[in-house]
């Protein structure tokens, strides 16, 4: 197959995605949960598929299933374990049941910005984490894809953490995120990404935390009063596969596949800041409200949330926390 990346969504004209692959090509399924056309993960996943489908034509055919259409948050890792999918890019906040070490990426205010986080991923400690789930689950990280810094949104304006007292916030399945929300005097509720819009709309939760790209492409701004520019946490993905899949490739195909993965990862991280800035502007254009903080107000958020670090130091490892903070 040499055409552009194949992507399939609900209502797609293709009943069976594999019908677009040539006979004899091995189908490689890539499932993820984000949507829209301007999202950094959507673009990176499609770029990866385009590159493999062109450069490894006749051998592999990568088919991308965005928007939780194949597997959502709760099923995708299990599907990778079972070999029902070969590629994923889940948020690093979703690996709690496989390794607590990824919690380092969730520590509030540990990374000043995405450049800081990228520097950490290039340290020995950061690189080692690509394989933190290899022994217990057979998962292999191919690279880290940055998504953005995170911001709180709610059904009321949040200027200080105390404004969130008593509210319910949707979080990813991350113990660090849960502690952070509790530190604000609010209640965390873990929920799959595909359910967030509905939960905000019906008032099951009052708020959530996410990147500009997710808030824009999932239209959370429509069902939230405002978004506060807290920059409190990073959202990044582990572009990943299984050891079984990699081992099944010939040495030459393995090397070619890995080289494409590296190049696409680098390109994705080089363009992510521009995509986030564009989606911030898209939110404003669509009528969403963004609340900026003074240095003093922001410091209140830091003071409220940073104490959660010490709870996770043991599980994550002081060496890893120090490497991330000092990168
Ligand atoms: C979330 O669940 O909020 C995000 O991890 C979704 C994503 O993949 O960006």
C-beta 68 within 6 A of ligand 1: no
Q: Over the stretch 30-71, which tens digit does the pLDDT of each residue have?
A: 999 999 999 999 999 999 999 999 999 999 999 999 999 999
Q: Residue 122 burial by CB count (10 A; 0-12/13-18/19+): exposed, middle or buried?
A: exposed
Which pLDDT score is estimated for 74?
Answer: 86
| Cβ pair 213, 147 in contact under 8 A | yes
Q: Over the stretch 5-18, which tens digit does the pLDDT of each residue have?
A: 555 544 443 434 55
Helices (runs of H) and strands (runs of E) counted in the chain: 13, 12
Q: Residue 153 burial by CB count (10 A; 0-12/13-18/19+): exposed, middle or buried?
A: buried
Which pLDDT score is estimated for 5?
Answer: 54
**Per-residue confidence in pLDDT tens, the chain, 327 aa:** 444 555 554 444 343 455 679 999 999 999 999 999 999 999 999 999 999 999 999 999 999 999 999 999 989 999 999 999 999 999 999 999 999 999 999 999 999 999 999 999 999 999 999 999 999 999 999 999 999 999 999 999 999 999 999 999 999 999 999 999 999 999 999 999 999 999 999 999 999 999 999 999 999 999 999 999 999 999 999 999 999 999 999 999 999 999 999 999 999 999 999 999 999 999 999 999 999 999 999 999 999 999 999 999 999 999 999 999 999
- Pocket residue to mutate for ligand 1, from 172, 196, 200, 205, most atoms within 8 A of Cβ: 172
Q: Over the stretch 104-133, which tens digit does the pLDDT of each residue have?
A: 999 999 999 999 999 999 999 999 999 999
Give 233 Cα–ligand 1 centroid separation in angstroms.
13
Which pLDDT score is estimated for 20?
Answer: 79
- Is this prediction's ipTM beyond 0.85? yes
Q: Strands 207-210, 168-171: parallel, antiparallel or unpaired by DSSP?
A: parallel
- Pocket residue to mutate for ligand 1, from 40, 75, 90, 91, most atoms within 8 A of Cβ: 91
Q: Which atom of ligand 1 is nearest to the CA of 211?
A: 9
Distance CA 282, CA 46 (A): 21
- Going by C-alpha positions, the residue among 244, 39, 42 that lies closest to residue 140 is 244
C-beta 91 within 6 A of ligand 1: yes
Across the beta sheet with 26-31, the strand order is 6-7, 60-65, 26-31, 87-88, 234-242, 139-149
Nearest CA to ligand 1 atom 3: 193
Q: Which atom of ligand 1 is nearest to the CA of 91?
A: 5
């Amino acid at each position: 197959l040499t055409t552009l990346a194949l992507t399939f969504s609900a209502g797609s004209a293709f009943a069976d995605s594999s019908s677009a692959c040539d006979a004899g090509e091995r189908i490689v399924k890539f499932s993820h949960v984000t949507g829209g056309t301007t999202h950094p993960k959507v673009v990176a996943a499609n770029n990866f598929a385009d590159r493999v489908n062109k450069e490894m034509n006749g051998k592999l055919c990568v088919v991308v299933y965005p928007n939780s259409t194949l597997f959502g948050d709760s099923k995708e890792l299990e599907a990778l374990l079972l070999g029902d999918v070969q590629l994923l890019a889940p948020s690093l906040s979703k690996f709690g049941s496989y390794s607590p070490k990824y919690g380092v990426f969730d520590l509030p205010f540990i990374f000043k910005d995405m450049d800081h986080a990228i520097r950490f991923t290039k340290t020995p400690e950061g690189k080692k984490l690509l394989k933190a789930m290899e022994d217990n689950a057979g998962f292999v990280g191919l690279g880290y894809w940055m998504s953005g810094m995170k911001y709180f949104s709610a059904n009321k304006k949040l200027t200080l953490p105390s404004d969130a007292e008593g509210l319910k916030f949707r979080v990813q399945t991350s113990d660090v995120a849960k502690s952070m929300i509790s530190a604000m005097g609010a209640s965390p509720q873990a929920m799959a990404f595909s359910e967030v819009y509905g939960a905000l709309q019906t008032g099951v939760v009052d708020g959530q935390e996410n990147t500009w790209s997710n808030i824009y492409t999932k239209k959370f701004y429509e069902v939230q009063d405002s978004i506060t520019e807290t920059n409190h946490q990073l959202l990044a993905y582990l572009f990943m596969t299984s050891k079984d899949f990699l081992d099944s490739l010939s040495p030459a195909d393995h090397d070619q596949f890995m080289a494409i993965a590296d190049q696409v990862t680098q390109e994705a991280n080089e363009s992510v800041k521009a995509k986030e800035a564009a989606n911030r502007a898209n939110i404003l254009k669509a009528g969403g409200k963004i609340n900026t903080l003074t240095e003093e107000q922001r410091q209140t958020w830091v003071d409220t949330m940073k104490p959660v670090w010490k709870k996770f130091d043991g599980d994550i490892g002081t060496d890893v926390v120090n490497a991330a903070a000092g990168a």
